[in-house]
């Protein structure tokens, strides 16, 4: 994918499967990615927020990136390169190019509160200059505490490797601000609640949690108010049980793998009653 080509379509930000031994399970990853490809999904994001990237050491993230690329099938692939250490982010953009990823997703450094715009421009500049694939800036201020501001985009927006923005704020006003800033570039919505709104506003696609379990419904929601309403019901259910924990519990129920958790995050694997309730209610809502 060239730096000028828009990143389009429906992507799943896939969880990173952890086996009973606490290690990354490459086989489970492959099974899930193949199922997503067979479901007609456009692509997958590896080691994003739903992939719990801060839970994995750099060497583990290298292995995850390689395993996902090997199992991609026909999926477009985006690699999360998030880190507070700019050197680690740069190493991960190198992994993306090495394994044939189509783009990378880069949040701002999330430990440092109120960093200067000058510092953020220098951080993103190092990543962009090092990358050989397009870079999506990741706007998720509720987790990072650092927004992708207009000022920041003004200062880095002419870089040829800046592909656009993923907006996971969940805020319709931020959707409107950022989709306007991304004219001619890629704007991907990160909220299941706003898939249709982003499409209608001129966005190029979505990267939303529910796509890991109902990929067809998320794709349809970009075109149908009825599907968007059904997707809202699924998203509300997932959030009721804990978004990431619920997605992993559903993948575990489908037999893809164990999908355990690493502290401090906790899943539903130790709560069989709640897991069974989630599965029952999900199957009542799910289109298939």
Catalytic, 259? Answer no
Distance between CA 28 and CA 6 in Å, rounded? 30
- Report the C-alpha gap between 248 and 252 in whole angstroms: 6
Residue environment code for 99-134, b if the CB has 16+ CB neighbours within 10 A, otherwise e: bebbbbbbbbbbeeeeeeeeebeebbeebbebbebb
Cα distance between residue 255 and residue 50, in whole Å: 19
114: alpha, beta or left? (left if phi > 0; alpha if psi -120 to 50) = left
Going by C-alpha positions, the residue among 10, 64, 37 that lies closest to residue 198 is 10
Q: Which of 101, 138, 248, 259 is catalytic?
A: 138
**Active-site annotation holder among 76, 101, 166, 248:** 166
Tokens, residue 101:
């990823």
CA–CA separation, 16 vs 25, rounded Å? 8
Q: Is 138 a catalytic residue?
A: yes
- The residue behind tokens 């992993």 is 248
Catalytic residues: 138, 166
């Amino acid at each position: 994918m060239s730096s000028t080509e828009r990143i389009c379509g429906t992507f799943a930000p896939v969880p990173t499967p952890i086996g009973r031994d606490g290690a990354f399970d490459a086989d489970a990853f492959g099974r899930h990615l193949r199922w997503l490809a067979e479901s007609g999904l456009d692509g997958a994001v590896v080691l994003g927020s739903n992939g719990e990237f801060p839970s994995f050491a750099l060497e583990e993230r290298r292995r995850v990136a390689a395993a996902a690329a090997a199992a991609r099938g026909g999926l477009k692939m985006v690699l999360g390169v998030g880190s507070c250490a700019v050197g680690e982010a740069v190493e991960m953009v190198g992994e993306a190019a090495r394994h044939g990823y189509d783009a990378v997703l880069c949040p701002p450094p999330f430990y440092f509160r109120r960093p200067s715009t000058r510092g953020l421009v220098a951080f993103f500049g190092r990543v962009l200059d090092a990358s050989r694939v397009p870079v999506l800036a990741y706007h998720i201020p509720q987790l990072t505490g650092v927004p992708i501001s207009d000022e920041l985009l003004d200062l880095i927006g002419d870089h040829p490797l800046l592909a656009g923005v993923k907006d996971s704020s969940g805020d319709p006003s931020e959707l409107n601000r950022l989709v306007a800033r991304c004219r001619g570039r890629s704007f991907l919505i990160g909220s299941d609640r706003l898939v249709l709104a982003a499409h209608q506003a001129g966005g190029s696609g979505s990267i939303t949690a529910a796509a890991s379990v109902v990929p067809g419904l998320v794709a349809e929601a970009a075109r149908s108010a009825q599907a968007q309403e059904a997707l809202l019901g699924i998203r509300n259910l997932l959030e009721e049980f804990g978004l990431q924990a619920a997605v992993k519990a559903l993948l575990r129920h489908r037999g893809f793998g164990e999908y355990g958790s690493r502290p401090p995050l906790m899943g539903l694997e130790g709560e069989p009653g709640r897991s069974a309730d989630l599965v029952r209610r999900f199957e009542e809502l799910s289109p298939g």
